[in-house]
Structure 1
Amino acid sequence: MKFKKMLTLLPVSTLLISALAGCGSDTKTESKSTAAPTSAPTAAAKPSGPPVTLTVEIFDRGIQGQPDLNNNTWTRYINDNFGKANNAIVKFVPVPRSQEIDKLNVLMAAGEAPDISFTYDGPTVSKYAKSNGIADVSDLLAKSGKELTNYLGKTVLSYGLYNGKQMAIPAKRTSLANIGMFIRKDWLDKLGMPVPTNKDELYNTLIAFRDKNPGGVNGVVPWGLASTGMNYNLGNISESFWGKQTDEEFHTTPNWLKPGNKDALKYLNKLYNEKLISPDFALDKTAKQADADVTNGKVGFFGANWDYPLRQNISEPLKANVPTASYVPIDVFKNYEGKFKKNAYNENGVNIIIPKSSKNAELAVKYLNWMSDVKNLFFLQYGQEGVNHKMVNGIPQVIAQTGDNLQTSYLNLDYTLVVNGAELGDQQKNIKALAASAPGLEAVAEQSYKINTTDTYTAFFYDTPNESSIKFGKTLGDMGKLMTDKLINCKSAEFDALYDKLVAEYMAAGGQAVMDENIKIYRAMQAYKK
């Protein structure tokens, strides 16, 4: 079975897997090892001599007040419990989140990629698997990764197979909700308006936000947005405009050619030209302006990750600036079937790879194996009880932190590579744990998760790599982001001609080749099933 590679079916605006923000507070405590390491060698087999340095990639998210990414509560726990037992020093190699693919490509080309590298981009992994740039870890998993194999399971691991070889180790994804859309309930209450339930009601609400400015702010923003790919997105608006398609068309056709996609962008262009969308969103390449507008109480409605307004880096400053402000999740974009069709994540998360240049492949697998132990994983996600979390009704609730205890990604995603999302061994507990990460907003979090895991579809996985996607994928992804921004903020009279021009350029730049190959692979898969 060859490596399964994702065909992105997200709306044209959601081309980013959102960066998850960490927590904040003012407790600075060095961690204590509370979990006994389970993968320590026996005394007879314990390594000797100078310690080996195991390099591990980590995203540098640029979080305000973040600790030293190589010297904090979590790295000390890792080195105290895994490092010492294996005569190793785990060293983290920061890579800017916004440049992760470009930086990984540079490191790989120079033979300097960390022993444990990772990416969310399937085509990038396929490219390195094809070029023999990454290690086959099949035998290493059998020898040193039994707990890891049991934890991930056959289905998750199958997403990392290439020609029957385990070329990547996918993380397990426990939170399947992806996008979400949110509106200021306090503004609606002030205007005496109900929560919108469809596109027309939303449009009328945005008009009211613009004209009546219920927050009394300077520079009201009815719909908050940032440059495509930077945290803020357009939710499932594209899907609501898409017309009827066969399964083959839905899975193989780029969003730009889907029936109704042009109308979706034209609708957004109309809103922009009516001053209902952030005026300079296309220039907001970091989402800092959008975040500032939200936390300063200027934004009435926006789309982002399903839990974005619940994160403490958003909810806490908003509460401080506007104590009465409250966002609630909504579902307004209904398609021709009467469903609120939206994308959800598959059960696999980030792709972990070991470069062929690594001299520490077995140690890398041992590290991931150690991490998959429930005790170690729990500490890395939640820390020490009474310091980093408290237990409420059997569910750990993170205590906001700063300094060494600060988690720069949700539940230390960047340090817990084997899992994306809370892991308490039970999905209902996992959802409760997700909600508990938003103190005081637990009910809103559970409502958002429920909404955004209803009427969902997942991206189709091909059992054969699309060579054209490997070749043109990044170029097309970058083009798609720029196209979306240009089409939303162009003059209305220019929209139709610009859409047709940009889509023609996209297809000529590799879009047609990718689609043709998708169709070929898809049909071969269907024939095989028969």
Structure 2
Amino acid sequence: METRHKMLTALTTAACLLAGTGLTGCSNPGADEHSALPGNESSATEADPYADLPKAVSISAFDRGAVSSDEGTYENNRWVKWIREQSGIDVTMVPVPRNQAQDKLNVLIASNRAPDLIWDYDRAYIGKLITQGALQPVDAYIEQYSTSYKTYLQEHPELLPYLTFDGQMYAVANARTTDGIANHGLWIRQDWLDKLGLKTPTTMDELIEVAKAFKEQDPDGNKQDDTTALVGSTVFDTYAAMNAAIGNQWYLEDGSMKYGATLDRFGDAMELEKQMYEAGLVDKEYLTDKNFQRAIQLWTTGKAGIFAGSWGGSAMENHIRNMLKNEPEANPVPLEPVSTKNGKFGLYQETPPNIFVAFNKEMKNPKAAVEYLDWMVDEGWKSLVNGEEGVHYKDVSGVAQMLDAEKYKKEVSYAGEYAVVRDAKFSPEDLLVKAAPDEISQRLAALSQKGLETATRNKFRRDIPYQPNFTELNDIQTALKPFIEVIRAKVTMQGSQYTSAWGLEEIRKEWTRLGGEDVEAMAQEWYEGNKTDFK
């Protein structure tokens, strides 16, 4: 127990130092480590309260519609069975729709039907669940039961500030590799540019002119007015990022914390959205295309010239693969984000931690949960990401080279959803090594490599490493999000009486009505208290 006690002390102290917590939350770390373990309050020699419980854990999974009917469902398929056999844990998958994940999880939590392990990419969402009392700290469980993840965390101390809330560790995560840091990307039909004699756009004005040409000058050559300039799954995020105005992100303006949706630059993003929509340069249904199926269809059938989505990787490669089946002569290439009147900024990029995996407060067996995460970070993730050696991949100098792209897509690609923590290594050159040896797979891998280079060339503006978390902010964000969506829709679709200036003013008024000025003051106090620890 002495070794374990020292480990918890070191982890907690490191978290406090890195996260800038005060003495109250971090005094004498580990002194009461057993009090955090239900049923283990009286002494260190008591029997393990979870030793005789069934090794059963439930965990959320994003349903992206990627499991074919002959593979099964997200709840029951070859990989879920494999996980149970290999981990020794009776794991139950609880799928939630990717684009409504938080809403679905909120419903499950409110009805006491939430899984034991809840995960999301959004640290602020985890913070919100903490303030609601839905989650529990994981420090003591990691110290008591973990081996592999504890070692991983020692090797990646940079993760601790992101995992720590109010002096306690509330989540686990792995560090993103470069391909995970890069997220959004732009793609453009180079063959359309060449056919119309156009140069690659580098400014917003040039991008709009190219978009008009793609709409009006019959770039697909079928003599019909049936092309759309811009489609994708991240259209407004792209407008906002290029103007450094992500709506739910805090920015430092002359040393003052300001909420993104209240900035003039956010008004500029709405104005661009309105301009593109009214000129017919985007799909008229994109605001209601919640699952992005129509956008993907327009792109893959060769009816769109610019796609706002991922920098590359399996999702984008699949979209381009499907496009080339329909349009063999198409030549999609990565497009660097263009400059705006506000400057030149990269598209959205992630913070160092990958997904945040948190423990439901009502979890019955946290020991089994930790053992599951240990197995996953140690070895489980590899097969879930790569498939079965000799069937889906072969080992090439430590890199898993795909054997058959179509077989992998059908039988393995969805399994990565279950690899919630992984100890992966990556270099851009690996993309070509990992790809199947056929010509199209190698072409797509080369495009992904170029897409990664393009996506990371311009730094995404992130003024603070992670967002503040407190109840008042969480409440106002929850209330403001649907309001902003309604305002954006009015500005974009309902004519000249709803200008972007009107929309921004409405958002600012609602921000104030909800208590935004007080929240802004609290965010400023939080920043002043933590800024010395930001790197």
Question: Structure 1 length as normaliser, TM-score?
Answer: 0.79
1:136 corresponds in structure 2 to 137
Shift, 1:403, TM fit: 9.8
Any idea what SS the aligned residue of 1:494 has? Answer: coil
Is 1:61 the counterpart of 2:64? The answer is yes
Distance of aligned partners of 1:367 and 1:145 in 2 relative to their CA distance in 1, 3 Å threshold:
same
Q: For the Cα contact (< 8 Å) 1:183–1:302, is it kept in 2?
A: yes
Q: For the Cα contact (< 8 Å) 1:479–1:506, is it kept in 2?
A: no
The equivalences for 1:32-431 within 5 A come to 52-63=55-66, 65=68, 67-83=72-88, 88-152=89-153, 153-174=156-177, 175-216=180-221, 218=224, 220-225=226-231, 231-234=233-236, 236-241=238-243, 247-248=252-253, 252-307=257-312, 311-335=316-340, 339-373=344-378, 375-391=379-395, 395-398=399-402, 399-401=404-406, 406-407=411-412, 409=414, 412-419=415-422, 424-428=424-428
Distance of aligned partners of 1:413 and 1:310 in 2 relative to their CA distance in 1, 3 Å threshold:
closer
Shift, 1:143, TM fit: 2.5
State the aligned residue count: 474
Alignment equivalent of 2:498, drawn from 468, 472, 494: 494
Any idea what SS the aligned residue of 1:101 has? Answer: helix
1:9 corresponds in structure 2 to none
Any idea what SS the aligned residue of 1:348 has? Answer: coil
| 2:139 maps to amino acid | S
Higher mean displacement: 341-350 or 331-340: 331-340
Any idea what SS the aligned residue of 1:413 has? Answer: helix
Any idea what SS the aligned residue of 1:93 has? Answer: strand
* 1:152-209 deviation line (CA, Å, top 9, x unaligned): 4222133121232221112332211121111111111211222222222222211211
What runs of 5+ residues in structure 2 fail to find an aligned partner?
1-14, 21-47
Shift, 1:137, TM fit: 1.6
* 1:327-352 deviation line (CA, Å, top 9, x unaligned): 11112422568643443211112111
Q: For the Cα contact (< 8 Å) 1:183–1:330, is it kept in 2?
A: yes
Shift, 1:290, TM fit: 0.9
Alignment equivalent of 1:481, drawn from 480, 485, 492: 485
Residues of 2 paired with 1:488 and 1:96: CA distance?
27
Distance of aligned partners of 1:241 and 1:352 in 2 relative to their CA distance in 1, 3 Å threshold:
closer
2:44 corresponds in structure 1 to none
Higher mean displacement: 177-186 or 122-131: 122-131
Shift, 1:246, TM fit: 8.4
Shift, 1:364, TM fit: 0.2
Residues of 1 paired with 2:257 and 2:265: CA distance?
16
Residues of 2 paired with 1:310 and 1:108: CA distance?
30
Residues of 2 paired with 1:432 and 1:159: CA distance?
32
Shift, 1:442, TM fit: 2.0
* 1:432-463 deviation line (CA, Å, top 9, x unaligned): 67877964222221121112112313362458
Shift, 1:380, TM fit: 1.6
2:45 corresponds in structure 1 to none
Shift, 1:266, TM fit: 1.6
Runs of 4 or more consecutive aligned structure 1 residues displaced over 6 Å after TM superposition: 2-5, 47-50, 433-437
Distance of aligned partners of 1:482 and 1:393 in 2 relative to their CA distance in 1, 3 Å threshold:
farther
Higher mean displacement: 163-172 or 455-464: 455-464
Shift, 1:242, TM fit: 5.6
Any idea what SS the aligned residue of 1:311 has? Answer: helix
Structure of greater relative contact order (alpha carbons < 8 Å, 6+ residues apart): 1
Superposition CA RMSD, Å:
3.4
Shift, 1:416, TM fit: 0.4
Residues of 1 paired with 2:509 and 2:342: CA distance?
29
Shift, 1:223, TM fit: 3.0
Q: For the Cα contact (< 8 Å) 1:116–1:355, is it kept in 2?
A: yes
Residues of 2 paired with 1:219 and 1:111: CA distance?
52
Any idea what SS the aligned residue of 2:137 has? Answer: coil
Residues of 2 paired with 1:448 and 1:524: CA distance?
38
* 1:378-419 deviation line (CA, Å, top 9, x unaligned): 11210112312244575323333569963454xx33210014
Aligned-pair identity in percent equals 25
Residues of 2 paired with 1:368 and 1:133: CA distance?
20
Shift, 1:140, TM fit: 1.6
Shift, 1:236, TM fit: 4.3
Higher mean displacement: 439-448 or 173-182: 439-448
Question: Structure 2 length as normaliser, TM-score?
Answer: 0.78
The equivalences for 1:419-458 within 5 A come to 419=422, 424-428=424-428, 439-456=442-459, 457-458=461-462
Shift, 1:304, TM fit: 1.5
| 1:178 maps to amino acid | N
Distance of aligned partners of 1:121 and 1:516 in 2 relative to their CA distance in 1, 3 Å threshold:
same
Higher helix residue share: 2
| 1:508 maps to amino acid | R
Residues of 2 paired with 1:4 and 1:185: CA distance?
46
What runs of 5+ residues in structure 1 fail to find an aligned partner?
6-44
1:15 corresponds in structure 2 to none
Residues of 2 paired with 1:449 and 1:484: CA distance?
30
